[in-house]
Each structure stands twice: as structure tokens, then as C-alpha cells.
């Protein structure tokens, strides 16, 4: 119940985040936008990545507009995050 991943639990991205995540995954055919592996191959749901980092917005919920989100496998997500850190 205290875990942020718990359904019905707290989310730092604002109300409706889980619905937006579902939309992104479905629109992408449940496959990573970078490597193309699907959720079945990776054994988990795609991570949802903010193309423009959420930390650059005054309100975190403002970062979660659809065109700022992309579904990635965990490995590709970590690669993108490390590239952002270098900028």
C-alpha cells in the first residue's frame, strides 16, 4: 500500500498517469519505440519516458502531455536517461 506502484497509490505525475501510460503502450503496439522488443519479449510493461524531462516543468503533471511521452523497454529507457544526463 505504501509503494508508489500500488494501484490506487500516489503518483508523482498527476491524476490519470496510469491511463496515459496505457494509451502510449497501446498506440505503440506494446513494443519499445527504440529497439522494437515487445512486452512479452522483455517480460514486463514498457517504461514511459518523458522526452522533455519532467524536472524541467514547474508542475510535474504538465510534463505528461501525450506528445512528450514514449514507451521504452527498461534498457532503452536507461540509455535515453543517461543521454539526457550528459546534456
Q: Which of these, 70, 81, 54, lies nearest to 20 by C-alpha position?
A: 70
CA separation for the pair 40, 23 (Å, rounded): 17
SS3 content of the chain, % helix, strand, coil (to 5): 45, 10, 45
Residue 85: is its pLDDT beyond 80? no
Got the DSSP string for 48-70?
Answer: EEESS-GGGSSSGGGG--GGGEE
pLDDT for 7 equals 56
Residue 26: is its pLDDT beyond 90? yes
Exposed, middle or buried by CB within 10 Å (0-12, 13-18, 19+), for 55? exposed
Q: For the segment 38-83, what is each residue's pLDDT rounded down to a tens digit?
A: 999 999 999 999 999 888 888 877 888 889 999 999 999 999 988 8
Residue 6: is its pLDDT beyond 60? no
Amino acid at each position: 500500500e505504501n509503494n508508489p506502484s500500488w494501484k490506487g497509490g500516489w503518483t508523482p505525475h498527476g491524476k490519470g498517469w496510469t491511463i496515459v501510460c496505457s494509451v502510449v503502450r497501446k498506440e505503440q503496439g506494446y513494443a519499445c519505440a527504440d529497439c522494437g522488443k515487445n512486452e512479452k519479449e522483455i517480460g514486463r510493461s514498457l517504461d514511459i519516458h518523458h522526452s522533455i524531462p519532467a524536472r524541467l516543468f514547474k508542475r510535474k503533471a504538465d510534463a505528461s502531455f501525450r506528445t512528450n511521452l514514449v514507451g521504452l523497454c527498461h534498457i532503452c529507457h536507461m540509455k535515453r536517461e543517461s543521454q539526457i544526463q550528459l546534456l
